[in-house]
Amino acid sequence: MESEAPQRIAVVTGASAGIGLYTALGLARAGMRVVMTGRDRDRTEAACRFVAARAAGAAVETALADFASLAAVRRLAEELLARHGRLDVLVNNAGLFSPSFRRSEDGYEMTFAVNHLAPFLLTNLVLDRLEASAPARIVTVASRAHRGNRIDPATIAGPRDWSMIKAYGRSKLCNILFTRELARRLGGTGVVAACLHPGVVATRLAQRGGIVELGWRLMKPFMISAERGAETSVFLATTPDPARFDGGYVVGKSLARPDPAALDDGTARRLWEESARLVGL
C-alpha cells in the first residue's frame, strides 16, 4: 500500500490583507497548509480566521515579522524552519508604498528594504529547505510599475533622487531582476522561481494620507479586486507545469516581456551581490 503524499506547505508574506490574504485563501482551498505572515498580530490572526472560515478543513497558521527589520526576517526564517520539515511554496507578496523618505531599522531606504531586501533575505534563508522539498516554487509579486525605471545597485539602498514613485518602481524592478538571477542559480534543483504583475488592485497599499491617498481613492473604482489580483500568484503556485515560467515575468497566466532593464543579466548579478552584502549573507 502506497503511503499518502505529505501535505504541501506554503508561506505567504503580507497575508493579513489584500492580495496576500486572497493568495492564502486560494492556496488553502488547493489543499496546502498555509503559513500566513504579517507584522500586526491582531490583523494577521483575523486574516487566518477569515481563510479558515472560507476553506473547508483548511490548515492555516500565522507567523509574525516586520519586514522593515532584517533581524525580524531572520527570526521568521528560523521559526519557519523549526516548525516545518518541508517548504513547498514561498510567495513573496509583502509590499510597501511609502509617501515619504524613510529608512529601515538597518538604515536602508524603506521601500527598497521592505520590497526587495526582506524577500531576498527570507528566500535565501529558507532556500535549502525548498530545495530539499523539490519540486518547489518561489513566487514574487512584482508590478508593471517597474517600467521606465533603472537602478544602480551600488547606490540603490540610499538613492539621492528619491521620490515615492521612483522608489516603488525601482523596488519592483529589483523583484524581477532578483527572480531572473534566482532562477539561474536554481537551475537543475527542481525549484522554480517566477514573478508577476497582479494587475492594478484596489488594496490599501497607498492609503497613507495626502495627495497619494486622494489619487488612489479616485482610481479605485477602475481597479480590480484583491481576490482577482491574487489569481496569478495562486496560478503560479499551483499550475502543474511551472517550468515554462521559470525566471519569467507573468501577467495573467502568460509570460510577458518586462522592460529591457529587467532583462539585464549583468545588473541582476550585481544586484544580487550587493543585496547579499547589505543583508549580511
What are the phi and psi torsion angles at 241 (to 5°)? -125, 70
Which pTM value belongs to this model? 0.93
Q: Whose CA is closest to 146, among 228, 45, 48, 264?
A: 264
Those residues whose C-beta lies under 8 Å from the C-beta of residue 4, and which sit 6 or more positions away, are none
The CA distance from 10 to 254, in Å, is 22
Look up residue 71 and give its three cell numbers. Answer: 533581524
Whole-number pLDDT of residue 204:
56
Backbone angles phi, psi at 8, to 5 degrees: -75, 145
- Domains, the chain, in order of start with CATH, read 9-279 (3.40.50.720)
Tell me the pLDDT of the chain (281 aa) as tens digits: 455 778 999 999 999 999 999 999 999 999 999 999 999 999 999 999 999 999 999 999 999 999 999 999 999 999 999 999 999 999 999 999 999 999 999 999 999 999 999 999 999 999 999 999 999 999 999 999 999 999 999 999 999 899 999 999 999 999 999 999 999 999 999 999 999 999 876 655 544 445 455 444 544 454 678 899 999 999 999 999 999 999 999 999 999 999 999 999 999 999 999 999 999 99
| Helix (H/G/I), strand (E/B), else coil: 142 | coil
Positions annotated as catalytic residues are: 168
